[in-house]
């Protein structure tokens, strides 16, 4: 044999690898059960495109661009489809014949299993139903109305800090102040003890962790897409690829949550009606949680109940600050309905239609949790928006793409609160009569939708009503401190200036508040 010539074994090995590669490609394209669904060729062969965009915080924009090109049904990965229609929300997340699609194994929650227990975010079937029933009393409208005083107290502290900025003629980073308020409020609602942001007028270490912990979850999900679940490769990639800061912030949140929950559990006789009070009252094993389950759920509750609301509020402030006519209509509604700050109560603010419409429109344009929530199709397959999908397929609605789709909304990239008020004569406009409002579901849909929806709406309405009743507000101009940060906001659906790691990573937003004019 010539030394320069490859051996027969080498040629056979190379040929075998090439043949295996082509067979692999054929199996995922020509012979795959999802071969008829549209999407990029590369996505049909590998998880890498979706995984890389997820790790970069750009998956929502990537899916939007692909749906614009390929339509309302998209093959985003070899065994995965995403949808954008309102009907798909019902078909994927709704209850059909007593069956709910379970979460995909690649889904990763804030709280990992502990001592054989999981929180409601990862629970399945009857276990999920039991935990949700246990959590419901503390988050019911009745319970929240009783806790209105707690929320009002933190809103009052927020206003005091903002007044000091007004007196000094200084702009306010309203994104930061909204985070202070919602984080402190969730601490009080959870443990009867605020977390100290408003008192210290700064972002505490735990508050910083809250904003960053979701990066860990997104990286882990991206790695699961490529390496599988509970594999040695996943463990290796977590060590190699996970940003050190993300791992640090996650561990800090876990540590702080466990400590705070354990301290509260040591006071079972406390009469303060916080979240844990309601959980400890229930003695029926079918409706109660053990201590490990309580700890896991409090990790999720603190995260989901604070930063998501501040994201909505910040997006709302940007939108209302860049749309003078909407600002005028909203301030007119609030100030004509309320004669003094003492009148700003839950019952009052929940009855203001234009206020609700501006919040709904802010959540449509900037859904706080715009990441796709994957579900697994059961054996036998199901029909989703008129398309038969075989069993074993991962499916989801792409929230950002759905809420920004021209198939669902007239002028999808425009802030038009009146689209939510078409049942009221003064706001009716035929251009919105075909809007599919059900395509925007910022809290999810069905039996597993976000359990904190009522709390988020209540907080947002109270905070906004107090803010615009007390102050006049405008975004800082181009020559003021903070104006550069405001430029990261924008209405283009394909803008890469806002990242998404499980939730939107809201940029700072600087506003100038002044004492309200024309009082009385």
3-state secondary structure 291-303: HHHHHHHHHHHHH
Cβ(234)–Cβ(224) below 8 Å: yes
Q: Is pLDDT at 479 greater than 70 in this prediction?
A: no
Band (pLDDT 50/70/90 cuts) for residue 49 is very high
CA distances in angstroms from 26 to 75, 182, 227, 441, listed in the order given: 16, 51, 21, 37
Helix axes 453-470, 307-321, angle to 10 degrees: 40
> What would the pLDDT profile of 334-371 be if each residue is shown by its tens digit?
999 999 999 999 999 999 999 999 999 999 999 998 88
Q: 3-state DSSP call for residue 71?
A: coil
Band (pLDDT 50/70/90 cuts) for residue 518 is low
297 Cβ contact partners less than 8 Å away, ≥ 6 residues apart: 111, 119, 120, 131, 135, 289
Q: Of how many residues is the chain composed?
A: 520
pLDDT, position 28: 60
> What would the pLDDT profile of 287-307 be if each residue is shown by its tens digit?
789 899 999 989 888 888 888
* The three-state (H, E, C) secondary structure of 141-174, written as one string: HHHHHHCHHHHHHHHHHHHHHHHHHHHCCCCEEH
Element (H, E) at 432: none
pLDDT, position 26: 56
Residue 125: which region, alpha, beta or left (left: phi > 0; alpha: psi -120 to 50)? left
CA distances in angstroms from 189 to 110, 214, 278, 345, 354, listed in the order given: 19, 22, 11, 18, 28
Cβ(29)–Cβ(41) below 8 Å: yes
> Which residue intervals of 168-231 are DSSP H helices?
174-191, 197-200, 205-227
pTM for this one?
0.92
Helix axes 232-241, 205-227, angle to 10 degrees: 140
Band (pLDDT 50/70/90 cuts) for residue 266 is very high
**How do 394-397 and 80-83 pair as beta strands?**
parallel
How far, rounded to the nearest angstrom, does the alpha carbon of residue 162 sit from its chain's CA centroid?
27
Higher pLDDT, 134 or 200: 200
197 appears as a binding residue in the annotation: no
Least trusted range by pLDDT, from 148-157, 404-413, 482-491: 482-491
Hey, what are 34's tokens?
């999802």
Band (pLDDT 50/70/90 cuts) for residue 520 is very low
Higher pLDDT, 386 or 281: 386
Cβ(316)–Cβ(464) below 8 Å: yes
> What would the pLDDT profile of 451-474 be if each residue is shown by its tens digit?
888 899 999 999 999 999 999 999
Q: Which CATH number fits domain 37-515: 1.10.630.10, 1.10.3720.10, 3.40.50.300, 2.60.40.1150?
A: 1.10.630.10
283 Cβ contact partners less than 8 Å away, ≥ 6 residues apart: none
What is the arrangement of strands in the sheet containing 80-83, beginning at the earlier edge strand?
73-77, 80-83, 394-397, 375-376
Cβ(393)–Cβ(399) below 8 Å: no
366 Cβ contact partners less than 8 Å away, ≥ 6 residues apart: 311, 312, 315, 498, 504
Q: DSSP assignment, residue 103?
A: B
The domains of the chain are located at 7-31, 37-515
Other beta carbons within 10 Å of 285: 9
> What would the pLDDT profile of 192-250 be if each residue is shown by its tens digit?
889 999 999 998 998 888 878 889 889 999 999 988 888 999 999 989 999 888 889 88
């Amino acid at each position: 044999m010539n030394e320069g010539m490859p051996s027969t074994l080498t040629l056979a090995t190379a040929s075998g690898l090439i043949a295996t590669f082509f067979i692999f490609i054929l199996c995922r394209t020509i012979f795959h059960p999802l071969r008829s669904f549209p999407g990029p060729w590369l996505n049909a062969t590998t998880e890498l495109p979706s995984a890389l965009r997820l790790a970069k915080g750009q998956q929502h924009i990537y899916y939007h661009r692909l749906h614009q090109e390929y339509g309302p049904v998209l093959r985003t990965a070899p065994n995965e489809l995403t949808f954008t229609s309102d009907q798909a929300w019902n078909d994927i997340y709704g209850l059909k014949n007593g069956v709910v699609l379970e979460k995909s194994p690649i889904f990763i929650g804030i709280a990992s299993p502990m001592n054989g227990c999981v929180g409601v975010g990862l629970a399945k079937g009857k276990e999920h139903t039991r935990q949700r029933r246990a959590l419901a009393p503390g988050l019911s409208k009745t319970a929240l109305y009783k806790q209105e005083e707690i929320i009002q107290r933190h809103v009052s502290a927020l206003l005091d800090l903002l007044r000091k900025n007004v007196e000094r003629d200084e702009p306010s980073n309203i994104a930061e102040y909204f985070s202070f308020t919602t984080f402190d409020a969730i601490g009080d609602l959870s443990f009867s003890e605020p977390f100290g942001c408003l008192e210290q007028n700064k972002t505490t270490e735990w508050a910083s962790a809250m904003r960053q912990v979701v990066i860990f979850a997104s990286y882990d999900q991206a790695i699961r897409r490529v390496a599988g679940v509970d594999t040695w490769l996943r463990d290796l990639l977590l060590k190699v690829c996970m940003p050190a800061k993300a791992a640090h912030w996650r561990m800090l949140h876990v540590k702080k949550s466990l400590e705070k929950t354990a301290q509260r559990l040591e006071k079972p006789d406390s009469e303060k009606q916080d979240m844990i009070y309601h959980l400890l009252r229930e003695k029926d094993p079918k409706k109660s949680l053990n201590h490990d389950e309580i700890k896991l759920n409090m990790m999720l509750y603190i995260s989901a109940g604070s930063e998501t609301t501040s994201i909505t509020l910040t997006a709302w402030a940007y939108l209302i600050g860049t749309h003078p006519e909407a600002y005028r209509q909203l301030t007119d509604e609030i100030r004509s309905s309320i004669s003094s700050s003492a009148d700003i109560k839950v019952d009052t603010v929940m009855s203001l239609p234009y206020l609700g419409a501006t919040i709904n429109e802010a959540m449509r344009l900037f859904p706080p949790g715009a990441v796709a929530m994957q579900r697994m199709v059961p054996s036998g397959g199901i029909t989703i928006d008129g398309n038969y999908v075989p069993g074993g397929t991962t499916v989801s609605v792409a929230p950002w793409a759905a809420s920004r789709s021209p198939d669902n909304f007239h002028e999808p990239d425009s802030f038009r609160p009146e689209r939510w008020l078409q049942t009221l004569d003064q706001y009716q406009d035929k251009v919105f009569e075909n809007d599919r409002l059900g395509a925007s579901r910022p809290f999810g849909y069905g039996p597993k939708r976000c359990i904190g929806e009522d709390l988020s709406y209540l907080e947002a309405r109270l905070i906004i009503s107090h803010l615009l009743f007390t102050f006049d507000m405008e975004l800082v101009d181009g020559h003021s401190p903070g104006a550069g940060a405001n430029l990261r906001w924008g209405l283009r659906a394909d803008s890469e200036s806002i990242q998404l790691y499980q939730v939107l990573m809201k940029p700072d937003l600087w506003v100038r508040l002044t004492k309200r004019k024309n009082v009385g």
